[in-house]
């Protein structure tokens, strides 16, 4: 992620955007060319007093200049000509409504090798345009989740919108198939008139034709200007960003431009808004749902789109693929990788957050998209007709708090030995992530969540105490990369750390232990965190890099995402990752 709290635009200068315009894993938004923005402020969740399941959206204005695509189909359709036609992942006369087809499309994604250097598998996305497929794009987590819903809605001319709150001007704004509009349905000043400014080739292109392109899209990157590069499109990072990817995804170039604007202004905080998605029960999980992790009311979170669900009596096997910070191709994760996330506090557990608010009140947990319907000339985002039994009311905190434990029961996999092995694998995976991005607070938390599961299975099945587990499995690097309280640690805002920095940090830690052994003493490892007595907080490690003639490998701290804790001098380590290193 890149710093987005101050951006300059052609014709709109000095726009300050902080905090609430979030891209899931990322922070503030805005775009960096003349196409936007039109909002002098941030788009947040609707205030509580305005949130309601039956609240009308904007007035419908079909065919307006701001329209991105015509919403000629309805999500509930099963019998119209368009609904009966064969599609990207279903046969003709399938009997499925469009919500079911959305799930079928995502379920058809294949796993392919990740090409962006993160390793593992990503997704191959089929399109309705002959045999055309694309690898998953390089995006942050909520960006990928929103991209899936927008893409499907656009291809099949389904109504779609998200609701956001312009806190500066105290107004509700909407972004969807009709463009960026206010409650009256009028376009928001400064945003494109998509229908009149950009072209749509859907009606003229046929299979076998050359793919039409818009050369201006090649120059467009998501907010921050970089980090969204797709090497499989081309080697020139100036022209292989998100705009170039969307150019390859859409015949309707209006949708390509809209996608960029939407991802710049909406994110995890908006997906947690009950105006846009609903909370659903663990046992009702479907492909196309999204799991949200929220550790704070404002600011970033993590968004995990569900790719596959296999159900047997009393058991679920779930797969998902998500982007991250810094941006990456969606990384495929299986059930054993996900169980520690789905059962953690960030998904709505009963524990208290660092802000002294129960995690269940922060919007985390399993969510499903609302579907837009034209009711009496107003667009309204409604709960699906088939979702009544799956639905958890936004204020039903007891049900939200019970859901992580339900996932623990449903996702538990195999023998105690296999559960132990899965926990150890998850710990090692988090360690690997930290080698590449040593400032990653999410990887530190993933490791600790896995340790909690390891403690549980070792105690219940092998009568092994937590202290003995720590002696057997904890390593020096676990102490160096101790878990940090996200809301109180500025390291968590820093996404541009590298594998070279990770190596230096661990070399320093080992040299510290070697010196302690030479001196005949035991020293608690120094945690890699912002230190109040150390310049920008990291002087200790910058000086060590210089002593190794590797100053060029050290990247100074930067606020790569908006976060309220960016000004803290001293980070805060959580107690659950700290063990007594002396003696062991």
Q: Does 226 score more than 70 pLDDT?
A: no
Residue 555's pLDDT is 94
Question: What pLDDT band is residue 290 in, cutting at 50, 70 and 90?
Answer: very high
DSSP 409-429: HHH--SSHHHHHHHHHHHHHH
pLDDT at residue 453 is higher than 90: no
Please name the residues in contact with 126: beta carbons below 8 A apart, sequence gap of 6 or more.
88, 89, 105, 108, 109, 132, 133
Q: Does an H or E element contain 457, and which? A: helix 441-462
Question: Can you list the pairs that 73-77 forms with residues at least 24 positions away whose Cβ atoms lie under 8 Å?
Answer: 73/98, 73/156, 73/157, 73/158, 74/98, 74/158, 74/159, 74/373, 75/99, 75/158, 75/159, 75/371, 75/372, 75/373, 75/384, 76/371, 76/385
Give the whole-angstrom CA distance, residue 76 versus residue 426: 40
Measured from the Cβ of residue 315, the count of other Cβ atoms closer than 10 Å reads: 13
Residue 209: count of CB within 10 angstroms of its CB = 12
Task: Say what the pLDDT of residue 59 is.
Answer: 95
Tokens of 294: 């929220």
Residue 419 binned pLDDT confidence (cut-offs 50, 70, 90): confident
What value does the mean pLDDT take over residues 539-560?
Answer: 95
**What is the distance between the alpha carbons of residues 518 and 525, in angstroms, rounded to a whole number?**
15
Which residues have C-beta within 8 Å of that of residue 572, sequence separation ≥ 6?
A: 354, 484, 485, 488, 489
Residue 535 DSSP SS3: coil
C-alpha separations of 236 from 20, 210, 226, 229, 232 in Å = 32, 22, 12, 9, 10
Q: What is the pLDDT of residues 19-62, one digit of tens each?
A: 333 334 644 333 333 344 556 556 888 876 565 544 679 999 99
Q: What is the pTM of this model?
A: 0.82
Read off the pLDDT band of 446 (50, 70, 90): confident
SS3 assignment, position 514: helix
Question: Which pair of tokens denotes residue 180?
Answer: 């960026």
């Amino acid at each position: 992620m890149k710093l987005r709290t101050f951006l300059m635009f052609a014709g709109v200068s000095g726009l300050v955007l902080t905090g609430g315009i979030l891209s899931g894993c990322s922070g503030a938004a805005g775009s960096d060319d003349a196409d936007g923005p039109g909002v002098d402020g941030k788009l947040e969740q609707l205030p509580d007093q305005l949130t309601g399941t039956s609240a009308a959206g904007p007035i419908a204005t079909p065919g307006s200049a701001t329209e991105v695509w015509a919403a000629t189909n309805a999500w509930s359709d099963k019998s119209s000509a368009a609904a009966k036609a064969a599609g990207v992942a279903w046969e003709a006369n399938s009997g499925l409504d469009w919500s079911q087809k959305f799930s079928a499309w995502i379920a058809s994604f294949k796993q392919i090798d990740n090409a962006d250097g993160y390793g593992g598998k990503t997704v191959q996305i089929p399109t309705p345009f002959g045999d055309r497929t694309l690898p998953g794009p390089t995006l942050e987590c909520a960006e990928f989740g929103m991209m899936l819903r927008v893409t499907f809605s656009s291809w099949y001319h389904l109504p779609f919108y998200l609701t956001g709150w312009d806190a500066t001007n105290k107004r509700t704004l909407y972004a969807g198939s009709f463009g960026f509009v206010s409650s009256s349905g009028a376009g928001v000043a400064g945003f494109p008139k998509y229908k009149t400014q950009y072209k749509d080739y859907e009606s003229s292109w046929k299979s076998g034709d050359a793919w039409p392109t818009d050369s201006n899209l090649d120059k467009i990157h998501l907010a921050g200007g970089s980090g969204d590069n797709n090497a499989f499109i081309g080697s020139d990072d100036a022209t292989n960003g998100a705009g170039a990817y969307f150019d390859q995804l859409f015949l309707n170039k209006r949708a390509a431009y809209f996608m960029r604007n939407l991802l710049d202004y909406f994110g995890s905080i908006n997906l947690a808004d009950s105006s846009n998605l609903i909370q659903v029960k663990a046992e009702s999980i479907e492909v196309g749902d999204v799991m949200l992790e929220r550790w704070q009311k404002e600011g970033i979170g993590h968004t995990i789109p569900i790719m596959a669900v296999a159900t047997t009596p009393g058991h679920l096997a779930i797969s998902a693929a998500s982007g991250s910070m810094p941006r990456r191709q969606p990384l495929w994760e299986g059930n054993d990788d996900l169980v520690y996330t789905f059962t953690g506090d960030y998904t709505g557990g009963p524990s208290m957050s660092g802000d002294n608010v129960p995690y269940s009140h922060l919007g985390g947990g399993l969510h499903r998209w609302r579907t837009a319907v034209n009711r009496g000339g107003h667009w309204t985002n409604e709960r699906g007709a088939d979702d009544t039994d799956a639905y958890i009311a936004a204020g039903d905190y007891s049900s939200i708090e019970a859901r992580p434990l339900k996932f623990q029961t449903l996702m538990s996999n195999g023998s105690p030995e296999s559960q132990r092995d899965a926990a150890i694998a998850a710990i090692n995976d988090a360690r690997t992530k930290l080698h590449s991005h040593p400032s990653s607070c999410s990887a530190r938390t993933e490791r600790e969540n896995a340790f909690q599961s390891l403690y549980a299975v070792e105690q219940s099945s092998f009568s092994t105490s937590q202290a003995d587990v720590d002696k057997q499995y904890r390593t020096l690097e676990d102490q160096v990369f101790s878990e940090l309280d996200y809301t109180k640690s500025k390291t968590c805002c820093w996404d541009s750390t590298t594998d070279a920095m990770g190596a230096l940090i661990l070399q320093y830690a080992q040299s510290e232990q070697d010196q302690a052994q030479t001196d005949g003493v035991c020293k608690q490892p120094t945690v890699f965190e912002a230190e109040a007595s150390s310049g920008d907080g990291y002087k200790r490690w910058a000086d060590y890099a210089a002593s190794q003639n590797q100053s060029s490998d050290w990247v100074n701290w930067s606020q790569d995402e908006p976060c309220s804790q960016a000004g803290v001098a001293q980070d805060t380590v959580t107690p659950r990752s700290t063990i007594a290193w002396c003696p062991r």
